[in-house]
Amino acid sequence: MKLPSASVIVQVPFHDVDLMAVAWHGHYLKYFEIARSALLDKIDYNYAAMKESGYAWPVIDIRIRYAKPARLGQKIEVTAALTEYELRLKINYVIRDVESSARLTKGHTIQVAVDYGSGELLLGSPPILYEKLGLDG
């Protein structure tokens, strides 16, 4: 089964860059979040839907690898692809230059399901996630 992915285009704004017109490294996480939100919207399980279903999905691990800098005004494509869902959400990211398709950055995030009311960690993904992915849980 092919798991869902989503891509967004971001133009690096002035307020994201340093004196050398290079995007500050911390802003890449914001770009990941924009793509992750598009991915979650695509499966109709965004953060509001998660809360409504009774689960929070905090990010517990982030990895990022920078290959080339993103620069002021540059259009970048940020792709988020779900790669794991049974025990946790693992989402891989790739940031590419729109014009050349050169890879600038890659990384991943790990999120786990937590019962919204009790705060207890679940030992697997809840049935609602399987439903949103169109899978049997």
pLDDT in tens, 110-134: 999 999 999 999 999 999 999 999 9
For the domain covering 5-133, report its CATH number: 3.10.129.10
Pairing relationship of beta strands 89-97 and 75-84 according to DSSP bridges: antiparallel
Q: What is the pLDDT of residue 137?
A: 56
d(CA 104, CA 21): 15
What are the tokens at 95? 């940031």
Q: Which amino acid is it at 45?
A: Y
Domains of the chain by residue range: 5-133
Average pLDDT over residues 21-40: 97
CB of 111 within 8 A of CB of 55? no
| Model confidence pTM above 0.75 | yes
Average pLDDT over residues 55-81: 98
Q: What is the pLDDT of residue 130?
A: 95
Name residue, tokens 């940020």: 78
Q: What is the pLDDT of residue 59?
A: 97
Distance of CA 31 to the CA centre of its chain: 8
Using 50, 70 and 90 to split pLDDT, how confident is the model at 1?
A: confident
Average pLDDT over residues 30-59: 97
Name residue, tokens 């499966």: 43
3-state secondary structure 86-107: CCCEEEEEEEEECCCCCEEEEE
